[in-house]
Amino acid sequence: MVYSHFQEAKDPNLKKITLAAMFFAFLAGHVNAVLISLGAVSVSHLSGNVSHLGELALPGIRPQIQWAAAVLVSFLLGAFFSGYQLMDAKYASFRKYGVLMIVEGLALLMAAWLSSAHLMWTVALCAFGMGVQNAMVSSYKGLIIRTTHMTGIITDLGFLLGRLLKVKQWSQDKMFFLFSTLVAFFVGACSGFWSALRFEFLSIYFCGGLCVLLGVLFYWQRVKHQASIR
């Protein structure tokens, strides 16, 4: 994350952004935990998968490389799709964000439907959904936001705490945003591990359905707003 950008952001919509980030972080934590608990790979962050590609130098472990490559390519395609849709969009364009949420939700629903019978496709579809999500809210008026992994969140928390100790500066909004997102991801991970023990891949239906529902509501809200101003 870019600290100076976060410092400059003074926006009345920050609370709305925080709620959105919490929802998406919960979603990512849940999906990632389900896949990990059922013996698959992480789909919400890519550092480990990129490292696995280094195993190309070793003989006899092609399956692991295939899993890593599937996650990387699918995540990239999801981010590409978001970037293509949002290249001229503003945060207030609920219609486009609604479409992206619907697409992510459909990908997760399809992944849950395929489940363990087609595990590679299940993982790929979940990674695609995470790519769509992570690029969907990657920035807003200088705020750099990532919701599928917590490396940047924890880095920023450490940075702000260090600055607090050094120069006695405190930003309640920043700390609230970062800590809330981190907690939401953790709660999502807890719910993912818990639900995977009882429902296995079916627990992803919950995330996919919720994402589609909210996406439809966002899209409908934007269409209704545009109709009212004509």
Q: What is the pLDDT along the chain (230 residues), one digit of tens a residue?
A: 444 444 444 556 778 888 988 999 999 999 999 998 887 788 888 887 788 777 766 666 666 778 888 899 999 999 999 988 887 655 546 678 889 999 999 999 999 999 878 888 999 999 999 999 998 866 554 457 788 888 888 888 888 888 888 877 667 778 888 899 999 999 999 999 999 999 888 899 999 999 999 999 988 877 776 666 66
Give the predicted TM-score (pTM) of the model.
0.85
Residue boundaries of the structural domains of the chain? 3-228
Distance CA 156, CA 80 (A): 26
φ and ψ at residue 139, rounded to 5 degrees: -155, 150
pLDDT value of position 62: 65
pLDDT value of position 60: 64
φ and ψ at residue 140, rounded to 5 degrees: -155, 110
Contacts of residue 28, defined as CB under 8 A and 6 or more positions apart, other chains included, come to: 44, 130, 133, 134, 147, 148, 149, 185, 188
In CATH terms, is domain 3-228 a member of 1.10.530?
A: no
